[in-house]
Structure 1
């Protein structure tokens, strides 16, 4: 399966052939206190990549592909009303290596009650923000 790159020049500096997809990592992130959608998105991305190791890129297991050729595409499910508050650059900072080709934000995630409003923790209300992440890894 090939994943097409975005044509958005801000997130994709070249327009060569589609990324060769190796695998997809998925995660969920929450912000229960403080109502920060970026924190929830960063947690979702960390969740997606936290239990995986990718030795194939470092060990040369893919013929003709070096570590520097790892490419990532990130897709985030974020509640529509919060998408403009999302700091994409902070979300990108979660990834320690790999060229990020695209970050796509789609309607998704959830706003629900955490059951408690704790002002001392920065709460504005009792909302809990939930974000879903899919991280596509390839070369």
Structure 2
């Protein structure tokens, strides 16, 4: 079985549209006009080029990331968002963001030896959290690290990010001090 491949996408453009009507006489002037079909290639404004990240450059041996605590061969990046709507606990929001990042993934490659020469114990993690600046001092990093069931955390970074917004309700029974909702973003880099 062979498949034909069209190298460039084509756009079809009709120069004239005429409803089909069986009652138009054959000698009518509109019958002399034939709709033409033209093939056009799409125009793209510019070529988009991916930039090399510091970790990719480090892996290829072209550069070293000076901000990295340890070199790591990056396999993938997991991202998540966590909220604390009641109680105003930034650590709870950060833990939820990390759980969100890792909860939809399974990493059998480390346990099954799918990566030649790499054992389960060599899995490395780099954690980057976006936390509102005014709440960064309240973050309990050790509690956040406890979310990760395995893998050596070689770098843990907290940057300005996330958000403080209104939850729209103050519920004293749930520990609220005010209506604030804390939002944290997490990026978990997994490699070896």
Give the structure-2-normalised TM-score.
0.66
Picking from 161, 181, 184, the partner of 1:131 is: 184
Could you list the runs of 5+ residues in structure 2 that have no partner in the other structure?
1-55, 60-64
Give the number of the structure with larger relative contact order, counting CA–CA contacts within 8 Å between residues 6 or more apart.
1
Any idea what the Cα deviations from partners look like across 1:107-138, whole Å, max 9, x if unmatched? 00000000000000000000000000000000
Q: Distance in 2 between matches of 1:6 and 1:91?
A: 20
- Of 65, 69, 84, which aligns to 2:118? 65
Within-5 A mapping of 1:98-117: 98-117=151-170
User: Equivalents in 1 of 2:124, 2:164: separation in Å?
Assistant: 31
State the alpha-carbon separation in 2 of the partners of residues 63 and 122 from structure 1: 50
For the residue of structure 2 that corresponds to 1:19, the secondary structure is coil
Partner of 2:76: 23
Q: Over aligned residues, Cα RMSD in angstroms?
A: 1.3
Corresponding residue for 2:142?
A: 89
Q: TM-score scaled to structure 1, two decimals?
A: 0.90
Query: Where has structure 1 moved over 2 Å in runs of 4 or more?
Result: 2-7
The number of residues matched between the two structures is 130
Instruction: Give the superposition deviation at 1:98.
Output: 0.1
Distance 2:169 2:150 in 1: 37
The 3-state SS of whatever aligns with 2:93 is helix
Distance 2:155 2:144 in 1: 12
User: 2: distance between equivalents of 1:35 and 1:60?
Assistant: 42
Q: Which residue of 2 aligns with 1:11?
A: none
Equivalent position to 1:79, from 121, 127, 132: 132
Give ranges in structure 1 of 5+ residues lacking alignment. 8-14
User: Equivalents in 1 of 2:119, 2:155: separation in Å?
Assistant: 20
Deviation at 1:6, TM superposition (A): 3.8
